[in-house]
Amino acid sequence: MRITVRRTGGMAGISREWSATVDAEEEGWRELLDRLPRDAAQGGADGADRFIYLVVCASDPETDEWRCEIPERNFTGPWQELLDRVRDTPE
Amino acid sequence: MPCSVVPPYLLARLATAEDPRYAVAAGAARRALLIDEPLRRGRCETPASAQGAPTAPGVRAAAGPHRTIYDARGETELPGEVVRQENEAPTGDVAVDEAYEGLGQTHRLLLDVYGRASIDGRNMRLDAVVHYGVRYDNAFWDGSRMVFGDGDGEVFDRFTRSLSVIGHELAHGLTQFTAGLIYEGQSGALSEHVSDVIGSLVEQYARGEMAAEASWLIGEGLFTPLVEGRALRSMLEPGSAYDDDVIGKDPQPAHMRDYIRTTDDNGGVHLNSGIPNRAFALTALALGGPAWERAGHIWYDTLTGPLSPTSDFVAFAEATTDAAARRFGAGSEEERAVRSGWSEVGVLP
């Protein structure tokens, strides 16, 4: 599975993107993917200049399995853990 | 019984003086009028920062700023711990002291030049949080306060380093209390634009720079020396602020023909703001002198005038030409400069 985390917004308006190809059946990843609170995507912009995260998980490059746009204030817990793990996964 | 040396009618005349030679006197007069206002109404307003403490009867409610700086100490819980309040001495923590000074400079521009006491016009307290998160690469407005990260040290230095950034964040509060521009698409890009205008004007006013001398940069000094770039944005030459191997090239368009359609960044609010930014800089340069005076007044009038929260670029451009005509007369040099600025970036014909 290809996991891409794209961060846009922020005062500087500079986008960053991190991605990794992982084995979604491997226990550590499966457990983390199951724990992601998809309802965190709810809620609009809070204030101004905050980051917005777009998480895309695709098993096939042509078909997005799912995507979630999450405002910064909800990008905590398992979402932050996901980003940390994606960053730490060697290409 | 307080006694004023300058009679109120003279203060009122000075406060509305347009002649740049009287800019300092006009600012001082506006401050004096605002300070005296609660007395004339026979009441004192207690700043929120002083609530909870007893207020002595007859204490003058000053129009000066009521600043409180908090330290998040690397956490993301807001607001953190109070580390410096109004009239307290510098702490020696550079981020704390820069935030404190920056809030003061922004308050001073709004009050001296536009006669507005703080962002809400009622001398609302100004709160800022520093040392937010760990290596946090951002500064934001959370709806009631400004929040500043320390930067990662590799691409970004601390966000309080730039006065234009502090002014930018506080101006989001000003927009929230006035036009309420929706933070999405073109109205969102206008919110970003207004924040860049105020941020840049705060810096120019503090330095006493004329339009032609100004850098028109937003966030100068935020990048570490490792980054190939001057600032986050250039209002005059959008798209030219940085070009770096790691963070890429400044993507801002300078003309409507290059308008970016995207779902990222709330519909490109930090990207397409380059277009109105350039229109403002061109207007200010065409008029010459201090940008906060004529161009700044027209934009301030627009923001505080009848403007829809969902305004697009054309609606905002038309509102600025209307504001110029109201303040300086139909067919005035100012109205023509505004129209020409918008025309040059392809927003108006």
Q: What mean pLDDT is predicted for residues B310-314?
A: 98
**B332 lies in the same domain as B194:** yes
Joined tokens for residue B179: 């036009």
B255 catalytic per annotation: no
Say yes or no for a CB contact (<8 Å) between A12 and B219.
Answer: yes
**B200 lies in the same domain as B319:** yes
Among B236, B315, B249, B321, which residue's Cα sits nearest to residue B275?
A: B236
Q: What is the pLDDT of residue B199?
A: 98
ipTM: 0.89
Q: What is the pLDDT of residue B56?
A: 34
Q: What is the pLDDT of residue A66?
A: 85
Q: What is the pLDDT of residue A41?
A: 74
3-state helix/strand/coil string of B170-194: HHHHHHHHCCCCCCCHHHHHHHHHH
Q: What is the pLDDT of residue B9?
A: 40
Query: In one letter, which amino acid is A67?
Result: R
Q: Can you give the residue ranges of every domain in chain A?
A: 2-88
Compute the C-alpha angle B282/B198/B236, nearest 5°.
25
Q: What is the pLDDT of residue B201?
A: 98
Whether B209 shows a pLDDT value over 60: the answer reads yes
pLDDT digits (tens, 9 = 90+) for B61-71: 458 999 999 99
In the set B86, B98, B169, B220, the catalytic residue is B169
Interface test with B, best of A4, A11, A55 (most B CBs within 10 A): A11
B243 is in which domain, residue-wise?
A: 185-344
Letter string b/e over residues B101-112, b meaning 16 or more CB atoms within 10 A of that residue's CB: bbbbbbbbbbbb
Query: Residue B39: which pLDDT band, with cuts at 50, 70 and 90?
Result: very low
Residues with Cβ within 8 Å of A31's Cβ and at least 6 positions away in sequence, in order, are none
pLDDT digits (tens, 9 = 90+) for B335-347: 999 999 999 999 9
CA–CA separation, B48 and B45 (whole Å): 9
Contact B190, B170 (CB under 8 A): no
Q: How far is CA B273 from the centre of its chain?
A: 15
Say yes or no for a CB contact (<8 Å) between B265 and A52.
Answer: yes
Q: Is residue B45 part of a domain?
A: no
Quote the minimal CA–CA distance from A87 to chain B in Å.
Answer: 15
Q: Is residue B155 part of a domain?
A: yes
CA–CA separation, B85 and B284 (whole Å): 36
Q: What mean pLDDT is predicted for residues A11-28?
A: 92
Give the rounded percent of residues in chain B with a pLDDT score beyond 90: 82
Q: Is residue B166 part of a domain?
A: no
Is the whole model's pTM more than 0.90, yes or no?
A: no
Joined tokens for residue B188: 């969102």
Q: What is the pLDDT of residue B60?
A: 32
Nearest neighbour of B172 by CB, restricted to A13, A48, A54: A48
CATH number at residue B81: 3.10.170.10
Among B173, B110, B119, which residue's Cα sits nearest to residue B141?
A: B173
Q: What mean pLDDT is predicted for residues B225-230?
A: 97
Quote the minimal CA–CA distance from A20 to chain B in Å.
Answer: 19
Q: Is residue B189 part of a domain?
A: yes
Whether B58 shows a pLDDT value over 50: the answer reads no
**B21 lies in the same domain as B149:** no
Q: What mean pLDDT is predicted for residues B13-27?
A: 52
Q: What mean pLDDT is predicted for residues B138-147?
A: 96
Could you write out the DSSP letters of every residue in B285-296?
Answer: HHH-S-TTTHHH
Say yes or no for a CB contact (<8 Å) between B138 and A10.
Answer: yes
Q: What is the pLDDT of residue B87?
A: 97
Whether B84 shows a pLDDT value over 60: the answer reads yes
**B126 lies in the same domain as B258:** no
Closest CA in chain B for residue A69: B264
Query: In one letter, which amino acid is B343?
Result: S
Q: What is the pLDDT of residue A65?
A: 78
Contact B328, B334 (CB under 8 A): yes
From residue B291, give the alpha-carbon distance in Å to each of B53, B138, B272, B295.
41, 27, 22, 6
Q: Is residue B171 part of a domain?
A: no
Q: What mean pLDDT is predicted for residues B208-234?
A: 97
Q: What mean pLDDT is predicted for residues B125-134?
A: 97
**B140 lies in the same domain as B228:** no
B297 catalytic per annotation: no
Q: How far is CA B100 from the centre of its chain?
A: 15
Among B247, B222, B211, B218, which residue's Cα sits nearest to residue B233?
A: B218
Q: What mean pLDDT is predicted for residues B113-123?
A: 96
Q: What is the pLDDT of residue B198?
A: 98
Closest CA in chain B for residue A9: B265
Q: What is the pLDDT of residue B262?
A: 96
**B320 lies in the same domain as B216:** yes
Q: What is the pLDDT of residue B289?
A: 98
Query: Residue B3: which pLDDT band, with cuts at 50, 70 and 90?
Result: very low
Q: B135: which chain A residues are within 8 Å (Cβ-Cβ)?
A: none
Q: What is the pLDDT of residue B8?
A: 40
**B214 lies in the same domain as B327:** yes
Greatest alpha-carbon span in chain A: 39
Q: What mean pLDDT is predicted for residues B320-338?
A: 98
Say yes or no for a CB contact (<8 Å) between A15 and B264.
Answer: yes
The domain total for chain B is 3
**B299 lies in the same domain as B245:** yes
Joined tokens for residue B147: 């929040």
pLDDT digits (tens, 9 = 90+) for A39-75: 877 666 578 999 999 999 988 666 667 889 999 999 9
Q: What is the pLDDT of residue B24?
A: 53
Among B207, B191, B156, B200, which residue's Cα sits nearest to residue B270?
A: B191
